[in-house]
Structure formats: C-alpha cells, structure tokens
Copies of this chain bind each other. A is one copy, B any other.
Amino acid sequence: MASDTLRGLERGLQVLDALNLSSGMTLRELHCNTNLPKPTLLRILATLEAHGYVRRRIADGVWRRSARLSETGSLQGLLLDVGSSILDDLCQRLRWPSDLAVYDEGSMMIIETTRKKSPYFINWTGVGYRIPMLQTGLGRAWLSFCSNEERETILSDLRGSSSPFDRAANNSQLVDQLISETRAQGYGTRVQGFTLRKIGEEKTDGFAVPVIARDRIVGCMNVTWLTSALDQRTAISRYLEEVQAAAGRIGNEIDTKLSLDAARPSALQ
C-alpha cells in the first residue's frame, strides 16, 4: 500500500529537497533541518555526490545541489504533470472519464485520459490519439479560446488539409457561428452524434472547456458520458461548473509553479 516505500531513498530525497531550496548547507545545518544522524547524512551525501546530484564546495565544505540542467520541463510537460492528478480527482467525483488534449498540427492530440480509471466502459483511445478540430468539443474549445493570430493559422492549415473533417474550415460563416456560440456558452460541444467509435460500442456525448495559463490557452479538457445514461442538458447542468473549476485549478497550478521558479534563490551564497 501507501507505505510500501524505501526508507533509504526517502531520506535521500529529503536531503535533496532540503538542499534545493537553500543553495548550500553545512553538515550541521542539514543535521538540524532533517533530524537525520550525521553518519547517515554522510552516507547519503556520498551517494548523491557519486551520482552528480550534489557537490561539496571545496572552499568551506558547504553542500550544494549541483546544477543539473535538462530538468526544466516544457510548458506542455507541466500541463501533463498537474493535469494528470486533477483529472484523476475529477474522475473520482463524476465517475465519467475525461481527456486532456492540446492542439498539434491540424488536430487535437490527447495527452492524458481517465478512461481507464472510470468505472464506465467507454471507447478507449490512448495517448497520442488525434481528433478533428471542427467536429469535437475539444477542438472547438481550442479554436474559440486561442488568440486571433493562432486561430487564423489553424484555420488556414485546416483549409489545406486532406481530411474530410477539415473541409468545413472553408465555410467561414459556419466557423464564425461555431466560435461565437462556443465562446458564449464557455464550453465546446461535438457535432450531433459524432463519435469516432468502433461498431457495437455505445454512443457517447461530451463537452470541453479550455485550460488557461499565463493568459493564453495551453490545453483543453472534457468529460464524456454515455448518451444512454444522460442527456446533454442534464450532464452540462450537473458537471459544467465542476469541470471548469478543474480547468481553472490546472491553470492556476501552472502559473504558481512557473512563478515559484522565477523567484528561486540565487545560486550563490
């Protein structure tokens, strides 16, 4: 269970964490901060040093976190990171599964989903799966809440696409209507009865909202349910608020993490 965890490793990470936010500590300071006995600390530090995670300043013997680059994490990495656990929470509350997706080369790409965890069996599509922009809630939400410049780029890409789904991008009247409607309601819905599903599976429906961080759209998330269990009006009235709250939480956490990073202690002293 939750306690199936390694004490030695745990203590090592504890030391790493302590060093991370202090830019250098002596053995004594570490001892006071972590309450670990000094011989133990010495062993931990030796191990961390051997793997290049910490380094001891020769001048004064102070232990410092060594500068490992390549741990930054892109914005999308962050989105996946915080999104994952919030989607999980949401699924436990609503029971219905959600997806998290980003725009990528002419379609929405799914980067996380709780379809596996949901108790309801719903047409399973994995990470990396792509769905069209104009027929789905996720796509419509992205198009409606991204910047004007981005929308223009996307639409012109779609006009040049060979996919039958993307032809609708030529009907600018339809597109405009779609976007203003989506904006007005605050969520995107899919084309009546539209599902990319295998034969024999139940019909589903859903809606999607944007995830906003740093004042721009960074992703979209949705909820999906079986039409046999719920009609759209009921689902939206029941779940919209909660899904929007979850999207808001994702955006907030991203913003916080990014600003924490900007304010981290200087590398010296």
A contact residues vs B (CB 8 Å cutoff): 2, 4-14, 17, 20-21, 42-44, 46-48, 50-51, 53, 55-62, 64-74, 76-78, 80-81, 84-85, 87-88, 110-117, 126-128, 257-258, 260-261, 264, 266-269
Smallest beta-carbon distance A53→chain B, Å: 6
Given contacts A43-B6, A47-B5, contact A59 B113 (CB under 8 A): yes
B67 touches A78 (CB 8 A): yes
B269 touches A58 (CB 8 A): no
Residue on B nearest A24 in the bound complex, by CB: B127
Q: With a CB–CB cut-off of 8 A, which chain B residues contact A48?
A: 9, 13
B80 touches A57 (CB 8 A): yes
Most buried by B among A21, A61, A65, A88: A65
Given contacts A17-B51, A58-B114, A116-B58, contact A76 B6 (CB under 8 A): no
- Separation of A146 and B227 alpha carbons in the complex (Å): 69
- Separation of A4 and B110 alpha carbons in the complex (Å): 46
Smallest beta-carbon distance A177→chain B, Å: 33
Most buried by B among A5, A60, A76: A5
B5 touches A43 (CB 8 A): yes
Smallest beta-carbon distance A253→chain B, Å: 11
Q: With a CB–CB cut-off of 8 A, which chain B residues contact A266?
A: 74, 76
Given contacts A81-B55, A269-B127, contact A264 B70 (CB under 8 A): yes
Q: With a CB–CB cut-off of 8 A, which chain B residues contact A50?
A: 2, 5, 10
Most buried by B among A68, A126, A264: A68
A77 touches B73 (CB 8 A): no
Can you list 11 contacts pairing A with B, beta carbon distance less than 8 Å? A2-B46, A4-B43, A8-B9, A8-B12, A10-B50, A20-B71, A55-B84, A59-B126, A70-B264, A77-B268, A128-B269
Q: With a CB–CB cut-off of 8 A, which chain B residues contact A47?
A: 5-6, 9-10, 13
* B6, B67, B74, B113: the one within 8 Å of A12 (CB): B6
Smallest beta-carbon distance A17→chain B, Å: 7
